[in-house]
Amino acid sequence: MTVLPDPGTLGVWGLLFTSFVIGLSGAVMPGPVLAATVSHAARQGASAGPLMVLGHAILEAALLIALVLGLGPLLTRASVAGVIGGAGALILVWLAWGMFRSLPSITLAVEPGAVRASGPVRDGFLLSLANPYWSLWWATVGLSLTTMALETPLGWWGLGVFYVGHISSDLAWFWFVALVVAKGRRFINDTVYRWLVGCCAGFLVLFAAYFAWFAWEQLGAA
């Protein structure tokens, strides 16, 4: 029987991997940021991807700082960590179900002219802020990961590792999408894209189980 790792022993690479995979699962889903990336990449090339992520990263850094300044001491309480972990597990299951259900019709075919904006950095910031999925993710899953990062032996440094892993997933995906648009659709098609989304959904289910176990352990210790 496989034994899940104790959050207290989750090191740098474990936290980095967890943050990257869960972040990638959210990044690959179609949305306003993807549409804007395609639009800008069609006009200015592959650099649009990193620039979009820069705007997105600025917003998320500000949010993470706000969480730390206002909620840091509260997040270290076992009862609070358990409730947040349980909510994160439920949301991950819900997101995974939505991803699996969308597989037959999901596509990368976003109309480049559908998005009009002044610049990729500004769009990365504003479109993320306007996306209700982003707010929901941070209120549940992101907060769960923040709590887990604080529970590792890394302490407050764990937040930096979590942030790097999370932003790296956004950078990897949106830079790749921008390259595809700029160089032509020779590297990925809808079938490959659906396999990628399906694999990410599977990872979400596994991490949901981990979050649920984490919640059980924290509530038992409260």
Region 177-205: what's the mean pLDDT? 80
DSSP per residue over 162-202, as a string?
HHHHHHHHHHHHHHHHHHHHHH-TTS--HHHHHHHHHHHHH
DSSP letter assigned to residue 9: G
pLDDT value for 10: 57
DSSP letter assigned to residue 140: I
pLDDT value for 13: 82
Window from 15-24, 65-74, 126-135 with minimum mean pLDDT: 65-74
What is the share, in percent, of the chain residues with pLDDT greater than 70?
A: 85
Region 61-65: what's the mean pLDDT? 87
Contacting residues for 189 by C-beta, under 8 A, at least 6 apart: 108
Give 110-121 pLDDT, tens digit per residue.
555 554 545 889
Give 1-47 pLDDT, tens digit per residue.
334 445 555 577 888 888 898 888 888 877 778 888 887 887 778 88
Mean of the per-residue pLDDT values of the chain: 80
pLDDT value for 1: 36
Name the nearest CA neighbour of 31 among 98, 128, 126.
Answer: 128
pLDDT value for 3: 41
